[in-house]
Copies of this chain bind each other. A is one copy, B any other.
Amino acid sequence: MAKNLRERFSKAIDPYNAEFVASVREDDRLVPFDIQGSIAHAKMLAQQGLISHDERDAITHGLQKILAEWQAGKFTLDPAYEDVHMNVEHRLTQITPAGAKLHTARSRNDQVALDLRLWAAQECDAIIGAIRTLQDILGARAQQHEKVIMPGVTHLQHAQPIHVAHALLAWYDALARDASRFASCWERLNVSPLGACALAGTSLPIDPPFVARELSLAGAFSNSLDAVGDRDFCVELTVACALLMVHLSQMAEMLVLWSAPEFGYVELPDELCTSSSIMPQKKNPDMIELVRAKAGRVFGAVSELLATLKALPLGYNRDLQMTKGPMFAAADTSLGCLRAMSLAFEKLEVNVARLEQVSHNSQMLATDLAEYLVRKGVAFRSAHAAVGQIMRHCAERRQELARLSLKELRRFNPAFEKDALDLLDPRVSVARRNSPGGTGTDQVRKRLAGLRGAHGE
């Protein structure tokens, strides 16, 4: 039974209603942020003469005690006090009578907005750290296999040979954008809403910028109504997670494919695999499949948040409580999946021999022949057409491109000369595809050198 704040009512709260509206389960993780915010608020109240310095100290010590209790598992939120805010205040008032003064010039509306921002700021940090760990592992694996080549694909069809390192560094770059998005999100949420009170500010002499400084936030809100209703940062954080999960799901998809027997490009070690309850031979990449699937969880969180926020009336509405769950789920999922992918990329075994073998599909070198013709002065579209006819010739005869003679090549375009045949080697192709940002050996080496000791965004 929620026992508080009901002086205005002639009846106790209905038990089902109390249970239905309580948010103590989601709120548990907010305890440290609620306390941190309240300490800053108490300092401000004291500075402004709204409480005494003794009261401030009693409140601060009381709150620190509650934090210690929570860390020790001895302070748990009771649905009878609805949410983290009333639970902390109730406990504080047991510790010190000054607790009854803490809620001066604030409301749960601005308080929860602050708690969520402090939590989100910390989460941005944690996720950026986990992204960098994964980037470092990708960089180290790229370094380790610097010379190994593999078939580059488009549409999952063999396109051109590339360095394995080039593929790994593609993901490195995608992750750099992710880190940059979490940083943007952090910058925009870095504002203290405390002092907006319920919706309109207060007639008491408060100092919101002081609170912001105490909490190392960049500044205070500029409009109290906006400050209590704004959950843009929840959406931004969740969307940053969703894009991260797009990338992780794409990486997971490739690991699932590459470890399928038909590919055989990589193998996950036994400790990262799971077996079957019926088929004794199975070695399944469950962990990786779950990363792929968990993208769905985060995408769902985005839909949930947007639908929840749509067309809400101005100011605070209880609907805003439902922004906690999806944001928390998105961040938890992202951190968990980053760690799983770090494990996977750290430990997977690259089947170098298989990659070498499959890279010798000389059909992938058709573009090298077309570019050769361009260097001989042939217009690219004509070069492409000539080589296209060569490839059709090969396809109809099921013949390797590398087995064609110069004479055969010249039948399709007389500009071919002997040195064209030298190009029909995947290592030559990779080495020569050396335009800036390309897969060329020197390009990749330069890029790897640039990684050492730095992050790439």
The docked-state distance in angstroms from the alpha carbon of A396 to that of B11 is 12
Segment of A28-36, A414-422, A428-436 in the binding face = A428-436
Q: Is A308 an interface residue (CB 8 A)?
A: yes
The smallest beta-carbon distance between A299 and chain B, in angstroms, is 4
- A257 adjacent to B156 (CB under 8 Å): yes
Q: Is A261 an interface residue (CB 8 A)?
A: yes
Residue of B nearest to A379 (CB): B100
Which of B14, B208, B295, B322 is A290 in contact with, Cβ under 8 Å? B322
- B396 adjacent to A10 (CB under 8 Å): yes
The smallest beta-carbon distance between A436 and chain B, in angstroms, is 5
Which of B152, B309, B363 is A199 in contact with, Cβ under 8 Å? B152
- B295 adjacent to A310 (CB under 8 Å): yes
Q: Is A8 an interface residue (CB 8 A)?
A: yes
- A246 adjacent to B309 (CB under 8 Å): yes
Which of B274, B278, B294, B306 is A107 in contact with, Cβ under 8 Å? B278
Q: Is A79 an interface residue (CB 8 A)?
A: no
Q: Is A239 an interface residue (CB 8 A)?
A: yes
**Segment 254-312 of A: residues with Cβ below 8 Å from B:** 254, 256-257, 259-264, 269-287, 289-290, 292-297, 299-312
Interface SS of chain A: helix, strand, loop or mixed? helix
Task: From known contacts A201-B436, A202-B371, A437-B196, infer whether A153 and B300 are also in contact, taking CB-CB under 8 Å.
Answer: no
The docked-state distance in angstroms from the alpha carbon of A200 to that of B274 is 20
The docked-state distance in angstroms from the alpha carbon of A160 to that of B386 is 45
Q: Is A139 an interface residue (CB 8 A)?
A: no
Which of B161, B293, B388 is A321 in contact with, Cβ under 8 Å? B293
Listed A/B pairs (13) with beta-carbon separation below 8 Å:
A7-B384, A8-B283, A11-B269, A13-B274, A102-B380, A156-B313, A253-B312, A257-B313, A279-B367, A281-B394, A293-B319, A300-B326, A301-B304
Inter-chain pairs besides A246-B309, A293-B308, 11 sampled, C-beta below 8 Å:
A7-B384, A7-B385, A86-B277, A167-B314, A201-B435, A203-B371, A235-B239, A277-B384, A280-B370, A300-B301, A311-B311
